Structure 1
Amino acid sequence: MLATDLLARRATLSRSVRLLSAFRFEQTDPDRFYGALAADTVALVADLWTGATGTGPHGLTLLDVGGGPGYFASAFTDAGVRYIGVEPDPREMHAAAPRTHRRAGSFVRASGTALPFEDASVDVCLSSNVAEHVADPWRLGEEMLRVTRPGGLAILSYTVWLGPFGGHEMGLSHYLGGRRAADRYARKHGHRPKNDYGSSLFAVSAAAGLRWAAGTGALIAAFPRYHPRWAWGLTRVPGLREFAVSNLVLVLQPSLEAGLQQVLLPPDRR
């Protein structure tokens, strides 16, 4: 069971407004956007770890699937966490502004759906705003669970397609349909969107994530990432949650029993 007292205290309306306001700077001022997101993510992981284990996060090994240009790496390293980032696109690894970016942690170029790490090898496996960019997001989730040790945490946070931010830089036009929105963006700007529907952006629902997570037997919490605590109940309302939960956090904890079963399996069945 996950104790949510720390999360509840931090999940205030002012935090929600601050983070949601930063989204409009993702393209124009990435330092402002990713810096704020990184700091909040460190706090989120720390609260989840403390709530699940009763201990602090200092000294943990964290694998960040889709680590990007290094904002998260710096923030987690400063918090005393051993950071390992996985990023398939070398352009993303070097996208941070030179004046603020400093290399921290370790990075591996690889796909999140085929992680080059041993079973049960990290304390925390994190994926923040990545699943909606993967054609098979639950294969990503399974890989995250595989590399997380029993008693550790796999934290999968993703943008819900029908939420207000589902279209990313395409804005609310994604409600017209993903392909139509991407084509509209291309006509207006003269180039395809970075998050292009069908190739680098996919329609991932809240219901699908909750269904997958429940099926793993490891789900210990699910809540909207950027909402105040009093709005967390939206996650439990079918239909409404697809529009009202802009980003869904799934917190999974592999059990000691599952870890033992994994060890006892023959290599060709793991």
Structure 2
Amino acid sequence: MKMEDILLPKERRDAVVLIGVDERDSVEFVRIYAVSEERAKRVLEEFFNAKGLFPTDYRLVSRGTEPVGDRKAITTRSETALSSALARLGLRLLSNGILYLDGVETLYQITLVSESLYSSIAGKEVEKPPQKEETGSLPEPEEVLSLGVDTLVENLSGRDISEFLPENALLLREPPVEKVAELLAEERDYPVVVETKDARRYSFLDFAVVVRLPPLTVEEFSAELSSRLGIDVDPSFFSSYPPEKLNMQNVRALVRLVEAIVEKWKVEREEALKLAVRLNLEGL
């Protein structure tokens, strides 16, 4: 194969290269799908050579096999979730053609991101090469979770993150550190997502991304209660609430408490809420 063939968009049977490029056409994201690990590695090497890219400028975030499932081909149009996630990062999804999957049952994928994109996603301040610019504002956490890489989520808001994860993701809530370390060291065909209230427990492990979901604001907290109780809840009720109580679990707990008070003591929901807030914050 001529080196330049790797860059020509065409129909393919062994491997396809998907990239995310910024407005300056800098390659910030690379994903290879291939029929074998050996072919994936070879295609990645050929692509880097053809584009004049340096492997040291990129970070490996995911690799392994995955089932083809009901997919017939891999194209930029078929990768809608990836395209959306990259768009949130200010990147366009391009490819070197269409990979047809006739007779293929499993694929091997390799995913890399540039050090500048990695730093942007992780929210870390690092020195960047002068010729590269920021890829845009930080994406929403939901978009980062959909990228399908190993992720540590410090979830202080209590939001349900499961709906934003790829179907093959393994979600673990407050797992033993030893189990996570073993999983991250293994060859896998799925991303590991660890959800915790204390990210320091896992800070020494090599996650591709760390996502932090802060506690709800008093306005968000009261809005959630208003929606669930069907009454207007004043945010000032929660001005003295500690941040660790401003989460979705406590929203649900307060709703259950209000409903129990209304049913037991036959009072209006507004009065039940006042009592529920005192019990929830101060106890008896």
| TM range, smaller chain | under 0.3
Larger strand proportion, structure 1 or 2?
2
Larger helix proportion, structure 1 or 2?
1
TM-score (norm 2): 0.26
TM-score (norm 1): 0.27
